[in-house]
Amino acid sequence: MKIGSRIGKPLCVDQATATGARLDYARVCVQVDLTKPLLSQFKIHGVTYFIQYEGLEKICLNCGKYFERSKCYCTSSPD
């Protein structure tokens, strides 16, 4: 759950993550604030961990925010 708290509010983990049966990745259900940019990675003790989000198809790759329209109109979005 410590890894999940880097991303948002951890809600639960899958059985393989909880028991340590799978060590190559952790699967954590996390509540995130969609009004803020989402992290794509973070470091713990010098090791970089990359984040994959599920169920969030409308995340702008430029600003990292969730959008509800057909496209994001952030200021950093290329035309």
Domain extent for 14: 1-79
Read off the pLDDT of residues 22-60 as tens digits, 9 standing for 90 and up.
888 888 989 888 778 888 898 888 989 898 888 776 777
Instruction: Count how many domains the chain has.
Output: 1
Per-residue confidence (pLDDT) for residue 1, from 0 to 100: 59
Phi–psi pair at 12, nearest 5 degrees: -165, 165
What gap in Å lies between CA 52 and CA 28, rounded to an integer? Answer: 10
Read off the pLDDT of residues 2-22 as tens digits, 9 standing for 90 and up.
778 888 898 998 999 889 898
Burial class (CB in 10 A: 0-12, 13-18, 19+), 21: exposed
